[in-house]
C-alpha cells in the first residue's frame, strides 16, 4: 500500500542530486583525461593535426570539463545555500545536454582527425 507520505510527487528516491553530483564528477574526470589524450597525440612528433581543428576539439572538451566542474560545485553547495528543486533540475538537465554534446563533438572530432591522420601515414 502507498501511504499519503509515500505518494509519488514527481520526485525520485531522494538520491537524484547525489547521483547527478557523481555523474558530473566523473564527466569532469573524463574531460581531463580526454584533454590529456588529445595533447598527447597532437604533440606534433607523430601525427599532424590542423591547428584550427585542434583548437575546436580542445574547446569542446574544455567546455564539457568546465561545465562539469561548475555543476559539481553547485550541487556541493546545496546544503549551504538551498535552491528551488525545479530550478536545480532544470540546470542539471541543461548541463547534461551541454556536456554530452560537447564531449560528443570534441571526442568525435578528435577520432575523425586521428583516424584520418593514421590512415594517411
- Cell 569542446, residue? 60
Whether 10 has a pLDDT exceeding 70, the answer reads no
Kindly state whether residue 4 falls inside one of the protein's structural domains: no
pLDDT tens by residue, 36-64: 999 888 776 666 778 899 999 999 999 99
Domain residues for the domain of 60 are 21-120
User: Into how many domains does the chain fold?
Assistant: 1
Residue 59 within a domain: yes
pLDDT at 26: 96
For 79-89, the pLDDT digits (tens) are 888 889 899 99
Confidence band (pLDDT; 50, 70, 90) for 7? very low
The percentage of the chain sitting over the pLDDT mark of 70, rounded to a whole number, equals: 83
> Within a domain: residue 8?
no
pLDDT (0 to 100) of residue 121: 63
Give pTM, 2 decimals: 0.82
Q: Are 99 and 67 in contact (CB under 8 A)?
A: yes
Amino acid at each position: 500500500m502507498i501511504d499519503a507520505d509515500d505518494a509519488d510527487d514527481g520526485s525520485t528516491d531522494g538520491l537524484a542530486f547525489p547521483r547527478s553530483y557523481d555523474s558530473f564528477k566523473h564527466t569532469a574526470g573524463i574531460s581531463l583525461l580526454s584533454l590529456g589524450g588529445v595533447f598527447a597525440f597532437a604533440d606534433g612528433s607523430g601525427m599532424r593535426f590542423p591547428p584550427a581543428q585542434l583548437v575546436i576539439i580542445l574547446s569542446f572538451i574544455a567546455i564539457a570539463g568546465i561545465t562539469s566542474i561548475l555543476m559539481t560545485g553547485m550541487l556541493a553547495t546545496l546544503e549551504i545555500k538551498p535552491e528551488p528543486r525545479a530550478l536545480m533540475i532544470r540546470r542539471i538537465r541543461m548541463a547534461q545536454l551541454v556536456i554530452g554534446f560537447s564531449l560528443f563533438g570534441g571526442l568525435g572530432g578528435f577520432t575523425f582527425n586521428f583516424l584520418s591522420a593514421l590512415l594517411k601515414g
